Amino acid sequence: MIVEKQENRTTGRRVGVYVCHCGLNIARTVDCRKVAEAVAEMEDVAVARDIPYACSEPGQHSIKEDIAEHRLDRIVVASCSPRLHEPTFRQMVQSAGLNPYLLEMANLREHCSWVHMNEPEEATRKAVDLTRMAVARVRNLVPLEPEVLPLTKRTLVIGGGVAGIQAALDLADNGYDVVLVEKKPSVGGTMAKLDKTFPTMDCSI
Amino acid sequence: MTDVGRHPRIKLLTLSEVVDVKGYVGNFDVKILKKSRYVSENECTACGECAKVCPVVRPDEFNFGLSSRKAIYSPFPQAVPSAYVINVNECLGHNPVVCAKCVEVCDKGCINFHMSDEEITERVGTIVVATGMEPYDPTELDEYGYTRFENVLTSLEFERLVNAGGPTRGRLVRPTDRRTPGSIGFIQCVGSRSARKGASYCSNVCCMNTVKSTLVLKEHYPDMDVKVFYIDIRAFGKGFEDLYTRSRRLGVKYIRGLPGTVEERADAGLRVAVENSATNSIEFHDLDMLVLAVGVKPSAATQRLQEMLGLQLTPDGFFLEAHPKLQPVDAATRGIFYAGCAEGPKDIKDSVTQASAAAARAIRLMHRGEILTEPITSEVIAEHCRACGKCAEVCPYNAITVDTKKKTPAVVNTAACAGCGTCAAECPFGAITMNHFTDVQILDQIDTLLEEDPQDKILAFACNWCSYAGADYAGVSRLQYPPNVRLIRTMCSGRVDESFIRHGFARRAPIILVSGCHIGDCHYIHANHWTEKRVARFRKKMEKLGIRPERLQLEWISAAEGTRFSSIMHRLEELRKEVSLEEIEETVRILENGAGVRRDSPGSE
Ligand SMILES: Cc1cc2nc3c(=O)[nH]c(=O)nc-3n(C[C@H](O)[C@H](O)[C@H](O)COP(=O)(O)OP(=O)(O)OC[C@H]3O[C@@H](n4cnc5c(N)ncnc54)[C@H](O)[C@@H]3O)c2cc1C
Ligand code: SF4
Ligand code: SF4
Ligand code: SF4
């Protein structure tokens, strides 16, 4: 099946875009206002703003207010690496009543302002692209729910040396059943063969 | 140790080995083979009457043959369980019954020759692998004469000799004449730190073990002449340096250099030739006894378990953790954890620390009693699946089952799926949707980035765990590189579909980069092997079509390789400059004739 892309398709989504200054970390190099303005023109973008610190308490609060006021149904945060703050912002959109997977981040700091410090114009151009790409992606995201599966509260420990013994005892003392499998006739492993052991110089068993 | 034997929540299975594991995190079905002990574990009080009458005498393997035991025996005095055990291969009473002396003397009737091996199945939610180590066998290092000279021992044999519970009750004697030696030498790094024989890694414990042994010797035999031959002493742990200085202060001589040869003298003593690198001279040392500080090797069971559980090994043969720094006890396979020397050579303290960590990680996963699976998993659209079996073949987690004979559509086990997206990229019929990284989601990103001035831009795919993180690291290190690259993040490079690359070129990308973790470091076991194959395949196609294959690049960049990421960006920019507008338009024409059209897989909307 071949689906031709319809140019400029409208999806009826209401996307909110937040371009973060990260103090001066991003704003010193990237013209954040300009990025927000460029993205505001995209289809489906209901709100686009630049914002001093998206991750801060007031920053998150203002985004949540927007979500309510402008009936936003998905969010783009153009700030730092998602490897850092994706969990933060997922939690934020979730607490505003949206599915946490309806969030996309554009990495304007690690992948842009910090690595193109001497080329502010090019960096801003790249920042616009990265943020537009994030909008393109967020438009297509769908809510996802984790699946809940039953689990057996029991652990198999393979090997009865000092490591296996300790793991088994810690688990058992915490109320978990353990099956400890040792191939020799006794547990103890290498340690059982030692007399005194460093650093305490006392006996091992 | 004894706590393990009597804890109500611990089912201890000795003489047992795991023979099969099925299932996934939360519910593994484990098959265990329990060999028969021939003595009732519950009834035996370890009185030892049986061993007294047993006529079979054998070398005791626990003491490395330095003492003897009977065919019915206790492994060692503090053994848990304490019950005696019969080695059937040595026993005369087993089959046919010709002896049975032990049966006669055991009042409690614990001994039963008809016990047979048992197969036990257990269902568990998590697994801790703690199979430990094997000491290095120095037979191959014959220059030290381990097999030729009786007074050359390994450090573990030495441990048994100085052990109060050992064959000599702790009195150190030479094997040849049973006299206490006046001088003794230790050779370090036996089977470690050598490119030639044994392993290239440092075994971590043998330096401190030798320091410890010298202290024990000096305590009992202050006048004994003790020498240590070494490369350098690694006393890095808490309190270690103290022990080392104490040993030197007590007169132990540390000689920098590993012996070249060892000869036996007429009195069964040993002559050691060594190049002392501190004084740059060849020296000879006459010693009554020699101890080889043998290294730590992965346990013999490692490879079998690796295959059974779908785990990975480091080049050294130890188990590979999910992340060497941030997830040091997790296996890449969810629900499996490592503890102790199974993961790498380490001392008791580190083994115990890691074991507690592994227990905590397992509890973290189990405490809810249910398991939440990350929804970034693949889904099969049954109507489009032709049951070709490709997805099941490529999935690193065996998470897909498909009956190619009966032609029933593929099914993804979402609990096992780790979300690499390889199946979606490899399915020839577009029958798999990768949640959160669907074709449409990615193709729209490509379209957007190439909307204006595409000739100026480099389209780069980066995996979440390595290359994207490497780009982050370049940022954190403020490494400057040309601003023309635009990254698209996927969880794994295995997700990068041929159609994405084709689409990028059709939309006038001058250069496309596919990047991921180095081979062997893939966060999804070996999914990047499929990336490698796919890129190679596509480059061949490009060549046939008359598109320069250099325009498609493949790079492996680890999370720590910010510098490498940056230098690759510089190189790609040079490549990009060589791509002319005409060349780009020619590519578009070529792809329009064939399959340049965007082909969204049916399930991707
Ligand atoms: C000579 C020597 C001296 C040492 N001295 C010291 C010291 O003084 N201080 C110190 O801190 N550390 C010392 N160490 C290190 C210490 O011995 C280890 O840190 C410790 O034993 C590691 O424990 P483990 O449980 O990981 O492995 P091990 O002790 O090796 O135990 C592994 C257990 O798993 C079992 N097993 C293996 N495969 C299977 C399987 N497939 N199925 C079931 N069971 C299996 C084995 O039978 C064994 O019982 C010394 C090591 C050596 C070699
Ligand atoms: S711990 Fe010491 S003896 Fe052991 S391999 Fe390392 S350096 Fe050599
Ligand atoms: S690769 Fe695609 S068509 Fe083949 S079995 Fe898997 S889902 Fe079905
Ligand atoms: S996404 Fe990866 S782990 Fe999941 S089923 Fe497909 S190939 Fe297997």
Closest residue to atom 4 of ligand 4, CA basis: B417
Who's near A176: CB < 8 A, 6+ residues apart?
A: A153, A154, A155, B9, B362, B363, B366
The residues lining ligand 4, judged by C-beta closer than 6 Å to any ligand atom, are B 377-378, 394-395, 397, 399-400, 412, 417-423
User: pLDDT: is B171 or B254 the higher one?
Assistant: B254
Q: And the tokens for B67? A: 């003492």
State what percent of residues in chain A have pLDDT above 90: 84
State what percent of residues in chain B have pLDDT above 90: 79
User: Which ligand has the shortest distance to the CA of B414?
Assistant: 4
Question: Is the preceding peptide bond at B81 cis, omega within 30 degrees of 0?
Answer: yes
Residue B426 to residue B531: CA distance in whole angstroms: 10
Shortest distance between the Cα of B155 and any Cα of chain A, in A, equals 10
- Amino acid B438: pLDDT: 97
pLDDT greater than 80 at residue B603: no
Q: Which ligand 2 atom is at minimum distance from the Cα of B189?
A: 8
Closest residue to atom 27 of ligand 1, CA basis: B132
Residues of A in contact with B87 (CB under 8 A): none
Across chain B, mean pLDDT equals 93
Partner residues linked to A129 by β-bridges: none
pLDDT greater than 80 at residue A81: yes
pLDDT in tens, B522-577: 888 889 999 999 999 999 999 999 999 999 999 999 888 899 999 999 999 999 99
B7 → closest Cβ in A3, A159, A169? A169
Interface test with A, best of B2, B4, B29, B311 (most A CBs within 10 A): B4
Beta carbons of B217 and B226 less than 8 angstroms apart: yes
Closest residue to atom 8 of ligand 2, CA basis: B189
Beta carbons of B121 and B83 less than 8 angstroms apart: no
Yes or no, beta carbons of B597 and A191 under 8 Å apart: no
- Domains annotated for chain B, with CATH where assigned, are 2-124 (no CATH), 134-297 (3.50.50.60), 437-593 (3.40.50)
Beta carbons of B420 and B405 less than 8 angstroms apart: no
pLDDT greater than 90 at residue B100: no
User: Which ligand has the shortest distance to the CA of B200?
Assistant: 2
Which of the listed residues B136, B186, B204 should we mutate to test ligand 2's pocket, taking the one with most ligand atoms within 8 A of CB? B204
Residues of B in contact with A197 (CB under 8 A): 212, 348
Yes or no, beta carbons of B17 and A115 under 8 Å apart: no
Q: Is B198 in the pocket of ligand 2 (CB under 6 A)?
A: no
Give me the phi and psi of B376, to 5 degrees please: -80, 80
Residues of A in contact with B349 (CB under 8 A): 199
Q: 3-state class of A107 per DSSP?
A: strand
Who's near B57: CB < 8 A, 6+ residues apart?
A: B68, B69, B70
Give me the phi and psi of A17, to 5 degrees please: -120, 130
Was domain A13-140 assigned CATH 3.40.50? Answer: yes
- Taking CA–CA distances from A102, the nearest residue in chain B reads B436
Residue A145 to residue A88: CA distance in whole angstroms: 18
Q: 3-state class of A200 per DSSP?
A: coil
pLDDT greater than 70 at residue A60: yes
pLDDT in tens, A14-37: 999 999 999 999 999 999 999 999
- Amino acid B67: pLDDT: 86
Question: Which A residues in the span 15-74 are in contact with B, Cβ-Cβ below 8 Å?
Answer: none
What DSSP state is assigned to residue A39? Answer: H
Which of the listed residues B388, B417, B439 should we mutate to test ligand 3's pocket, taking the one with most ligand atoms within 8 A of CB? B388
ipTM field: 0.81
Yes or no, beta carbons of A193 and B127 under 8 Å apart: no
Across chain A, mean pLDDT equals 93
* Residue extents of the structural domains in chain A: 13-140, 154-203
- Amino acid B344: pLDDT: 97
Beta carbons of A111 and B475 less than 8 angstroms apart: yes
Shortest distance between the Cα of A183 and any Cα of chain B, in A, equals 4
Write down the number of H helices and E strands in chain B: 16, 29
Beta carbons of B269 and B287 less than 8 angstroms apart: yes
Strand duo B432-434 + B408-412: pairing: unpaired
Which of the listed residues B155, B186, B192 should we mutate to test ligand 2's pocket, taking the one with most ligand atoms within 8 A of CB? B192
What average pLDDT does this structure show over B370-379? 90
User: pLDDT: is A11 or B554 the higher one?
Assistant: B554
Q: And the tokens for B381? A: 């659209």
Distance of CA B382 to the CA centre of its chain: 38
B469 touching A (Cβ < 8 Å): yes
What average pLDDT does this structure show over B72-91? 92
- Amino acid B419: pLDDT: 94
Span from the CA of A2 to the centroid of ligand 3 (angstroms)? 18
Q: Is B433 in the pocket of ligand 3 (CB under 6 A)?
A: no
The owner of tokens 């490509």 is B446
Which of A110, A137, A104, A85 minimizes the C-alpha distance to A30?
A: A110
pLDDT greater than 90 at residue B4: yes
Residues of B in contact with A164 (CB under 8 A): 128, 130, 132, 339-340, 355
Closest residue to atom 7 of ligand 1, CA basis: A197
- Taking CA–CA distances from A203, the nearest residue in chain B reads B163
pLDDT in tens, B196-223: 889 999 999 999 999 999 999 999 999 9
pLDDT greater than 70 at residue B95: no
pLDDT in tens, B319-340: 988 777 778 999 877 899 999 9
- Across the A:B interface, residue pairs with CB atoms under 8 Å apart total 364
Helix (H) or strand (E) holding A164: helix A162-173
Alpha helices in B54-90 (DSSP H): none
Q: CA geometry: angle at A17 spanning A12 and A22, to 5°?
A: 170
Residue B422 to residue B404: CA distance in whole angstroms: 19
Alpha helices in B72-201 (DSSP H): 101-105, 155-162
- Amino acid A7: pLDDT: 42
A9 touching B (Cβ < 8 Å): no
* pTM for the model: 0.75
Who's near B589: CB < 8 A, 6+ residues apart?
A: none
pLDDT in tens, B271-306: 999 999 999 999 999 999 999 999 999 999 998 998
- The b-or-e profile of B344-355 (16+ CB within 10 A means b, else e) is bbbbbbbbbbbb
Shortest distance between the Cα of A199 and any Cα of chain B, in A, equals 6
- How many of the other CB atoms lie within 10 Å of CB of B316? 13
Residue B50 to residue B235: CA distance in whole angstroms: 47
- The confidence band for B35, taking pLDDT boundaries of 50, 70 and 90, is very high
pLDDT greater than 70 at residue A203: yes
- Taking CA–CA distances from B416, the nearest residue in chain A reads A149
Residue B416 to residue B424: CA distance in whole angstroms: 16
Beta carbons of B271 and B320 less than 8 angstroms apart: no
Residue A54 to residue B322: CA distance in whole angstroms: 31
pLDDT greater than 90 at residue A201: no
